């Protein structure tokens, strides 16, 4: 998994590139936790280049969601493909994490 980020007006957009699974979970957690410490108002995860996500990825997102909401920060996602969208729908993540358009 590779990461890049852009901050604009209190909104941090983080682009994820690769699979969000057991192999990339630790690196993804560490990167997102580092960005959480920047105290943005809203964090948007761009899934445009995420090719696969499994239940470990769900756990990563839920853990970061909890940390962010404790700080009053909103977590959103954008650009989900068919596979990641299906994971979000089946798992109920859309009820917790909002999808937005950039």
Range of the domain at 85: 2-99
| Side-by-side strand order, sheet with 11-20 | 2-8, 11-20, 42-53, 74-78, 98-99
Query: Could you give the percent of the chain with pLDDT greater than 90?
Result: 95
Confidence of residue 39 (pLDDT cuts 50, 70, 90): confident
The model's pLDDT over 40-98, given as tens digits with 9 standing for 90+, comes to: 899 999 999 999 999 999 999 999 999 999 989 999 999 999 999 999 999 999 999 99
The total number of structural domains that make up the chain:
1
Largest CA distance in the chain: 33
Confidence of residue 38 (pLDDT cuts 50, 70, 90): confident
- Please report the pLDDT score of residue 102 as a whole number: 87
What CATH number has the domain bearing residue 42? Answer: 3.30.750.24
Q: Which long-range contacts (CB under 8 A, 24 or more apart) does 96-101 make?
A: 96/62, 96/65, 97/61, 97/65, 98/74, 100/44, 100/76
Q: pTM for the complete prediction?
A: 0.95
The model's pLDDT over 5-35, given as tens digits with 9 standing for 90+, comes to: 999 999 999 999 999 999 999 999 999 999 9
């Amino acid at each position: 998994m590779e990461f890049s980020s852009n901050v604009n007006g209190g909104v941090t957009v983080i682009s994820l590139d690769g699979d969000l699974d057991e192999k990339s979970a630790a690196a993804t957690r560490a990167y997102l936790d580092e960005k959480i410490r920047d105290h943005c108002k809203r964090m948007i995860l761009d899934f445009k280049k995420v090719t696969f996500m499994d239940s470990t990825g769900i756990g990563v997102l839920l853990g970061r969601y909890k940390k962010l909401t404790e700080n009053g920060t909103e977590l959103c996602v954008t650009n989900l493909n068919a596979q990641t969208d299906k994971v979000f729908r089946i798992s109920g993540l859309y009820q917790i994490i909002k999808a937005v358009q950039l």
